[in-house]
């Protein structure tokens, strides 16, 4: 594993989108809109093609040696602290970069149609390219610091794109919210990195990249004592980026951005960065059952929590946003039970069908003259046939209906949760899966079935979207249907190629495996199972378990999904009265609570923002700012200058005679000095 195959194409994968962003950003309005869009799409296409090239090269290598790197230069060299500016691709980042550039390219194409009439479309494509650049830095970064650079970069692009239509104050506020909430997470990430540095640095010889993933993996033993703290801090970062409890609040608001952005950043790629990071640091996470338990629990709770909110939302994009939060919860759950490759599998399939759903909703919104409220939609099935059928494909995939993509990944997650020994995690995931099917059917029914409830004027404008928008839908629909087939598990007769492909990344070196077993001995029972499963490779854990149980669970989750779909259809298409009775259930307040998203925003407002505001206003502003900074530092220094100045001013009075007098005083002093110094 010491041999480093160099592959200079890697830097171009990252740099080409940056180049595209630079050209678009610098020329901006001087470029025609279509040219800007095509340029941006071409940049991503090139990036995708290069990714495929390197990917094919990786497949040609023996499984254990699948690692290419491209160290551009030493970024930080200071004593034995060394951080390289470099990129690396292993099976994990290969999957991620293919998904990012592939889905990214489709969404660029879609944006050509969607943003064709927007005045700022050059700016839009600049940001989009910049995002791809940052995301590829994140995915291909050779060390944790490069990952962090990309991490911050995608955060910035997310902010820029959420508040893309910045003239609307709500959009600007949503952008700020996303940025600030992410900053809280990033703070944890930074602390985690510092802790790694502080723990590892004294033990490193020269020439080893401090934060390089390979070096970290080799020295996992040194990091082991601090692993729990490090992993929990890193996980704080992941909760911010991947919208987990308690930092998920920004994602639903992020839907203020243009729909392609929601699809690309807030569903398919950026939000999965947290999952990617945890998977990347898997060798550290498996050492700490505590952190693994936290990750699994937070993931499961988020999955259920967000799914319940999604049941009641009326904004089509909000439903999808909460659905995204919920699915991210599944991925975290998978990470938490040690099934990292399954988590990445779900990242991939989710990228396909959630991007599809978002783009489909964009198509609907486009047709409805920018209306997002489902209550005034309906009956779009005939008017937007292509959108409808692709949307159905996405819905079934998300609901986990076999043999679509979502079934395999979600089922595997639930199976691993079951297998981890903590049946509560499985139960939560299972319930949330049914809810997912239910709210997705509600969305489909409200949007596509029944009579159209829009005003006559809007109705007359309803039309199928142009080919640039529907083509990506079709491609993504195909991927949503077939994308899961690369990872059909063994018990279904599949080869589980996807998991095999990722295995070199997640199979632990002997050192780590031993440490993990040590951790099991002391760790809590439930988490210990997860760590054990991880140390063996999750797939193997599944292999020697009872296949009958696996069949039963898969069947149950499939049936449960179908049941959810049918219930959704029945309630919202046939017996609307049932839906109404849902709203009135329990005196109406459960519905109200869900509709208001458990009042989380209000709670944050009351518990954090307002006290902070009050503190700022009374102490920070009145005392620290006005008193200390302004009074003492600013005005104080100004006062010193003013006093000195007013004294000096006496000498600068413009009177020539006074100058002459001062001059002669100087002469007098000099003369006296001479006469008395001997």
Partner 1 sequence: MEGFLFWFCGSLMLLGSLMTVTQRSAVVSAVWLIFAFICAAGIFALLNASFLAVMQVLVYAGAIMVLFLFVIMMLQGPELEGERKLLKLPMWPAVAVPPMAIAVMIVGYLQNKGLTQWGPDAPESFGGPNHVAELLLGKYLLAFELISIVLLVALIGALAIGKDERKLPWK
Partner 2 sequence: MEITLTHYLLLAAAIFVTGMVGFIVRRNAIVMLMCVELMLSSVNIVFAAFSRFHLDGGGHVFVLMNFAVAAAEAAIGLAILVEIFRRRRTVNVDDLKTLME
Per rule CB under 8 A, count of chain residues that contact partner 1: 11
| Choices 27-35, 239-247, 275-283, 658-666 (CB under 8 A): range interacting with partner 1 | 658-666
Minimum CB separation of residue 663 from partner 1 in Å reads 9
Contact between 397 and 436 under an 8 Å Cβ cutoff? The reply is: no
Compute CA distances 111 → 429, 461, 473, whole Å: 34, 20, 12
3-state secondary structure (DSSP) of residue 330: helix
Minimum CB separation of residue 15 from partner 1 in Å reads 58
Please state, in angstroms and rounded to a whole number, the distance separating the CA atoms of residues 393 and 386.
11
654 binding partner (options partner 2, partner 1, none; Cβ < 5 to 8 Å by kind): partner 2
Nearer to partner 1, 634 or 669 (CB): 669
669 binding partner (options partner 1, partner 2, none; Cβ < 5 to 8 Å by kind): partner 1
Please state, in angstroms and rounded to a whole number, the distance separating the CA atoms of residues 256 and 174.
7
Binding site for partner 2 (CB under 8 A): 652-657, 660-661, 664
Nearer to partner 1, 78 or 673 (CB): 673
Minimum CB separation of residue 164 from partner 1 in Å reads 59
Q: In the window 402-441, what residues touch partner 1 (CB under 8 A)?
A: none
DSSP for 106-144, please give it.
HHHHHHHHHTTT-TTHHHHHHHHHHHHHHHHHHHHBSBH
Nearer to partner 2, 619 or 644 (CB): 644
* Ramachandran sector of residue 494 (left: φ over 0; alpha: ψ -120 to 50; beta: rest): beta
Q: In the window 180-239, what residues touch partner 1 (CB under 8 A)?
A: none
Nearer to partner 2, 617 or 649 (CB): 649
Q: Give the Cβ contact number of residue 413 at 10 Å.
A: 32
Please state, in angstroms and rounded to a whole number, the distance separating the CA atoms of residues 360 and 267.
13
Bridge partners, 373 (sequence order): 315
Nearer to partner 2, 456 or 656 (CB): 656
| Choices 155-163, 277-285, 639-647, 657-665 (CB under 8 A): range interacting with partner 1 | 657-665
What is the edge-to-edge ordering of all strands in the sheet holding 5-6?
A: 5-6, 68-78, 81-89
633 binding partner (options partner 1, partner 2, none; Cβ < 5 to 8 Å by kind): none
Nearer to partner 1, 28 or 662 (CB): 662
Compute CA distances 634 → 462, 638, 641, 645, whole Å: 61, 6, 11, 16
Minimum CB separation of residue 644 from partner 2 in Å reads 17
Minimum CB separation of residue 648 from partner 1 in Å reads 19
The continuous run of DSSP H or E covering 74 comes out as strand 68-78
Minimum CB separation of residue 640 from partner 2 in Å reads 22
Could you identify the residue written with the tokens 């911010």?
A: 240
Question: HEC states along 225-278?
Answer: HHHHHHHHHHHHHHHHHCCCCCCCCHHHHHHHCCHHHHHHHHHHCHHHHHHHHH
DSSP annotation of 79 reads T
599 is a site residue for partner 1 (CB under 8 A): no
Nearer to partner 1, 521 or 674 (CB): 674
Nearer to partner 1, 3 or 675 (CB): 675
Minimum CB separation of residue 25 from partner 1 in Å reads 50
Binding marks (x or -) toward partner 1, 602..641, rule CB under 8 A? ----------------------------------------
Residue 164 tokens read as 């893309």
675 binding partner (options partner 2, partner 1, none; Cβ < 5 to 8 Å by kind): partner 1
Asked if residue 246 has a cis previous peptide bond (ω within 30° of 0), the answer is yes
80 contacts: CB under 8 Å, gap ≥ 6: 201, 204, 205, 206, 208
Q: In the window 659-678, what residues touch partner 1 (CB under 8 A)?
A: 661, 664-665, 667-669, 671-672, 674-676
Nearer to partner 1, 630 or 662 (CB): 662
Please state, in angstroms and rounded to a whole number, the distance separating the CA atoms of residues 661 and 140.
74
Minimum CB separation of residue 665 from partner 2 in Å reads 10
**Residues of this chain that bind partner 1 (CB under 8 A):** 661, 664-665, 667-669, 671-672, 674-676
């Amino acid at each position: 594993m010491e041999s480093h195959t160099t592959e200079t194409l890697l830097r171009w994968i990252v740099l080409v989108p940056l180049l595209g962003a630079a050209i678009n950003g610098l020329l901006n309005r001087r470029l025609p809109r279509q040219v800007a869009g095509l340029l941006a799409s071409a940049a991503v296409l090139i990036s995708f093609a290069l990714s495929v090239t390197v990917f094919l090269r990786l497949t040609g290598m023996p499984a254990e040696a699948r690692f290419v790197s491209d160290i551009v230069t030493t970024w930080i060299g200071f004593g034995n602290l060394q951080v390289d500016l470099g990129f690396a691709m292993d099976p994990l980042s290969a999957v991620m970069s293919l998904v990012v550039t592939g889905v990214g390219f489709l969404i660029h194409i879609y944006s050509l149609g969607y943003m064709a009439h927007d005045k700022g479309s050059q700016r839009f494509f600049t940001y989009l390219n910049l995002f791809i650049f940052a995301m590829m830095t994140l995915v291909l970064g050779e060390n944790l610091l490069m990952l962090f650079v990309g991490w911050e970069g995608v955060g910035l692009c997310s902010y820029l794109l959420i508040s893309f239509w910045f003239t609307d104050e709500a959009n600007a506020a949503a952008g700020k919210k996303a940025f600030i909430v992410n900053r809280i997470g990033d703070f944890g990430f930074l602390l985690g990195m510092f802790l790694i540095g502080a723990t590892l640095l004294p033990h490193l010889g020269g020439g080893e990249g401090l934060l390089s993933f390979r070096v970290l993996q080799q020295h996992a033993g040194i990091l082991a004592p601090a692993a729990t703290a490090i992993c929990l801090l890193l996980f704080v970062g992941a909760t911010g980026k991947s919208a987990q409890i308690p930092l998920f609040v920004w994602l639903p608001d992020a839907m203020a951005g243009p729909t392609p952005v929601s699809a690309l950043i807030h569903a398919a790629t950026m939000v999965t960065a947290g999952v990617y990071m945890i998977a990347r640091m898997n060798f550290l996470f498996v050492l700490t059952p505590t952190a693994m338990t936290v990750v699994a629990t937070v993931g499961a709770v988020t999955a259920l929590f967000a799914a319940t909110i999604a049941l009641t939302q009326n904004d089509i994009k909000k439903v999808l946003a909460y659905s995204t939060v919920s699915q991210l919860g599944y991925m975290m759950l998978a990470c938490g039970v040690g099934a990292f490759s399954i988590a990445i599998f779900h990242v991939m399939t989710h990228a396909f069908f959630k991007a599809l759903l978002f783009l489909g909703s964009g198509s609907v919104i486009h047709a409805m003259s920018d209306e997002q409220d489902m209550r005034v939609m309906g009956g779009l099935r005939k008017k937007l046939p292509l959108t409808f059928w692709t949307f159905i494909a996405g819905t079934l995939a998300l609901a986990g209906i076999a043999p679509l993509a979502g079934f395999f990944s979600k089922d595997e997650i639930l199976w691993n949760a079951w297998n981890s020994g903590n049946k509560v995690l499985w139960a939560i995931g299972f319930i949330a899966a049914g809810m997912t099917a239910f709210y997705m059917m509600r969305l489909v029914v409200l949007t596509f079935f029944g009579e159209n409830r829009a005003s006559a004027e809007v109705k007359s404008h309803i039309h199928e979207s142009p080919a640039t928008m529907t083509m990506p839908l079709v491609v993504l629909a195909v991927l949503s249907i077939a994308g899961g087939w690369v990872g059909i598990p063994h018990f279904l007769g599949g080869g589980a190629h996807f998991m095999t492909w990722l295995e070199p990344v997640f199979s632990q070196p002997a050192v780590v495996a031993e440490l993990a077993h040590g951790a099991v001995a002391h760790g809590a029972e439930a988490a210990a199972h997860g760590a054990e499963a991880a140390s063996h490779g999750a797939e193997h854990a599944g292999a020697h378990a009872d296949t009958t149980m696996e069949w039963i669970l898969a069947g149950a989750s499939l049936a449960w999904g179908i049941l959810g779909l049918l219930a959704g259809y029945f309630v919202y298409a046939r017996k609307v009265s049932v839906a109404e009775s849902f709203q009135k259930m329990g005196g109406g307040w459960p519905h109200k609570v869900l509709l208001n998203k458990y009042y989380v925003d209000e709670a944050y407002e009351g518990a954090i923002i307002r006290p902070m505001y009050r503190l700022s206003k009374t102490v920070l502003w009145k005392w620290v700012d006005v008193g200390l900074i302004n009074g003492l530092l600013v005005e104080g220094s100004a006062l010193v200058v003013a006093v000195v100045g007013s004294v000096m001013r006496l000498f600068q009075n413009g009177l020539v005679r006074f100058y002459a007098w001062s001059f002669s005083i100087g002469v007098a002093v000099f003369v006296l000095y001479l006469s008395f110094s001997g």
